[in-house]
Amino acid sequence: MIAVDLGSNTLRCIVYDCEKKVFGSEYETVVRTADGLHVNKMINEKALMRIIEALHVADKKLNFSEHEVVAYTTEAARQAENSGEILKEILNQTSIKFEIISGDEEALLTAKAVKNRLDILNLSSSSFVLTDIGGGSTEIIFYSNGILTSKSFNIGIVTLSESSTNIQEMQENLEKLLVSVREFVKEYYNKVGKPQNFIQTAGTPTTIAAYLQGMNYASYDASKINGYILDKEGCQKTLQDLLKMDENERSFYAGVGREELIIAGIIIVQKLYELLEFTQAIVIDDGLREGIALSYCEKSSKSKLNR
């Protein structure tokens, strides 16, 4: 099967063999679904064209017609007033039918993928807090002895970057947005306690981890990212280095289309360390798309057993 995750910034696709339980070829590119969304509450025509073009490229690489395709989309589609029209046009142009999932389902699937990777790495933990910073939303997910508690917040690297003209304004805008996050975290800590570990997934922490290990966007290796321990000092060093670079240098490390967004992402990451009261985190590359694949195969397996 092929799992497709259309996020607010990135399109991510991956092949998964349900029987062998092995991930295969993948495709990822920046499409900026949420471009301008904070202003007009609409997914614009240019974003639509980028998505359709990206899906055609993905099809050539992964051969959609030879697999069962499960395609989900998230915060940008949840917010956009024209998401129905956009998804209908994508279906007409690519034959890929996207389903808009809730923030809760997104969190559940992401946590499933991360828990699976932690188990593979022998880094299993009875309790952790997982953050997933996307283009239009950030999910805070608590896991404690098999119980998930999560919430999705309208804080994303695309929306924060586009609504701010400089770093100071970015930090000020973020502080306002984090009020509800602080309340959620405080309530959980008071009720359950602070988790043992802090786990980070999504493009910003993985890009930081790659940069600190001497990788760039083209040489990115997920096997070296999974399990990497990222501390606050590493985040600050990466931010300072990227701010000294011009746009071309920055895109060399962060990827074309991410060169400005990565700054907003790091600022969010830094605030989450402070808010969650951690100085280091475990970085995991796996996210929603891997969770989509694992969930689909589990359901397929149960369906076969019940026949």
Q: What is the pLDDT of residues 220-267, one digit of tens each?
A: 999 999 999 999 999 999 999 988 888 888 888 887 767 778 888 999
> How do 22-30 and 10-17 pair as beta strands?
antiparallel
What percent of the chain is predicted at pLDDT more than 90?
64
Which has more confidence, 217 or 194?
A: 194
Look at residues 167, 48, 23, 133 and name the one whose alpha carbon lies nearest to residue 98.
48
Q: Give residue 72's pLDDT.
A: 97
- 170-211 tens-digit pLDDT: 888 888 889 999 999 999 999 999 999 999 998 899 999 999
**71, 98 in Cβ contact below 8 A?**
yes
Q: Does residue 303 register a pLDDT over 80? A: no
Q: Does residue 8 register a pLDDT over 90? A: no
C-alpha–C-alpha distance, residues 9 and 75, integer Å: 10
C-alpha–C-alpha distance, residues 129 and 177, integer Å: 19
Instruction: Check for a shared fold between 2-101 and 104-289.
Output: yes
Alpha helices in the chain (DSSP H): 37-40, 45-62, 75-79, 83-94, 103-120, 157-162, 167-177, 179-191, 203-212, 222-225, 232-244, 247-254, 261-276, 288-305
Q: Give residue 306's pLDDT.
A: 55
> How do 127-133 and 197-201 pair as beta strands?
parallel
Look at residues 199, 195, 189, 201 and name the one whose alpha carbon lies nearest to residue 144.
195
Which has more confidence, 15 or 137?
A: 15
Residues 6 or more apart in contact with residue 131 via CB below 8 angstroms = 138, 139, 140, 141, 198, 199, 200, 201, 202, 269, 272, 276
Q: Give residue 290's pLDDT.
A: 95
Q: Give residue 158's pLDDT.
A: 81
Cα Rg of the chain, angstroms = 18
Residue 74 DSSP code: -
Dihedral-angle region of residue 227 (phi above 0 means left; psi in -120 to 50 means alpha; beta otherwise)? left
- Give the confidence band of 302 by pLDDT, cuts at 50, 70, 90: low
Q: Give residue 201's pLDDT.
A: 92
- 88-122 tens-digit pLDDT: 999 999 999 999 999 889 988 999 999 999 999 99
C-alpha–C-alpha distance, residues 203 and 209, integer Å: 10
- Give the confidence band of 34 by pLDDT, cuts at 50, 70, 90: confident
C-alpha–C-alpha distance, residues 291 and 286, integer Å: 8
The gap between the terminal CA atoms of the chain, to the nearest Å, is 21
- Mean pLDDT rounded to a whole number for the chain: 90
Domain covering 2-101, topology: Nucleotidyltransferase; domain 5 (3.30.420)
- Give the confidence band of 141 by pLDDT, cuts at 50, 70, 90: very high
Domain ranges of the chain: 2-101, 104-289
**260, 161 in Cβ contact below 8 A?**
yes
Q: Does residue 17 register a pLDDT over 70? A: yes
What number does CATH give the domain 104-289? Answer: 3.30.420.150
Q: Give residue 59's pLDDT.
A: 96
**129, 284 in Cβ contact below 8 A?**
no
C-alpha–C-alpha distance, residues 192 and 186, integer Å: 10
Length of the chain: 307
Look at residues 294, 299, 275, 90 and name the one whose alpha carbon lies nearest to residue 200.
275
| Range scoring the smallest mean pLDDT among 48-52, 262-266, 292-296 | 262-266
CA angle at 239 for the pair 265 and 167, rounded to the nearest 5°: 65
Q: Does residue 291 register a pLDDT over 90? A: yes
What percent of the chain is predicted at pLDDT more than 70?
97
C-alpha–C-alpha distance, residues 129 and 196, integer Å: 8
